[in-house]
Amino acid sequence: MGGNKRANSHFRFCLDAACTSGSCQNGGTCSNNKCSCKSGFTGNQCDVDVDECNEFPGICQNKATCTNTKGSYACTCRAAYTGTNCSINIDGCKTDDGSSKCLNNGTCIDGEGEFSCKCQDPYIGSLCQWVDECKNVKNLCGKGVCDKHRNGSAICRCNRSRV
């Protein structure tokens, strides 16, 4: 009986011998007869790539495109996002030096890869860079009608009856 038991345990040892020194692949290490795999790999010998895109749906965030690679994965971010998993929203309102892209205290509204400025009077323009002269100077045109160019400079039009 005793001999039989020893034979059984020996047989089981052979089945469980999942690794020997150096048999674990892709940087995996063998300890207690088991391969401990580096992240990105799986399988008894660490020879199987983990398909992160399928196993972890949404690993690439903000509707990014996921591409499986050997031992890793890659996210292709949409505009306005960055970072390994595209989790970081780029602040489209800030310039490289950290100041607001909207001038003259305009309020910046961050969008997906773009921004817009809400200007304070009398500023106009996509960056609030121009002064609306019609609003800036009271009665600029007297009794005439003040019209403005796209860049805010005033055009005075006289009423016909007063010419």
Tell me which residues touch Ca ion (CB under 5 A): 49, 68
Least Cβ distance, residue 41 to Ca ion (angstroms): 8
Least Cβ distance, residue 3 to Ca ion (angstroms): 48
Burial class (CB within 10 angstroms; exposed 0-12, middle 13-18, buried 19+) of 124? buried
Least Cβ distance, residue 114 to Ca ion (angstroms): 33
**Whole-angstrom Cα distance, residue 46 to residue 25?**
5
The residue among 38 and 94 lying less far from Ca ion, judged by its C-beta, is 38
Least Cβ distance, residue 49 to Ca ion (angstroms): 4
| Residue 56: both structure tokens together | 């972890």
The residue among 68 and 129 lying less far from Ca ion, judged by its C-beta, is 68
**Whole-angstrom Cα distance, residue 73 to residue 62?**
16
- In 18-64, the DSSP E strands lie at 29-31, 34-36, 41-42, 48-49
- Residue 123 CB partners (closer than 8 Å, separation 6+): 103, 104, 106, 129, 130, 131, 132
The residue among 49 and 112 lying less far from Ca ion, judged by its C-beta, is 49
The residue among 43 and 92 lying less far from Ca ion, judged by its C-beta, is 43
The residue among 76 and 105 lying less far from Ca ion, judged by its C-beta, is 76
CA nearest to 46, candidates 71, 75, 67: 71
Least Cβ distance, residue 76 to Ca ion (angstroms): 15
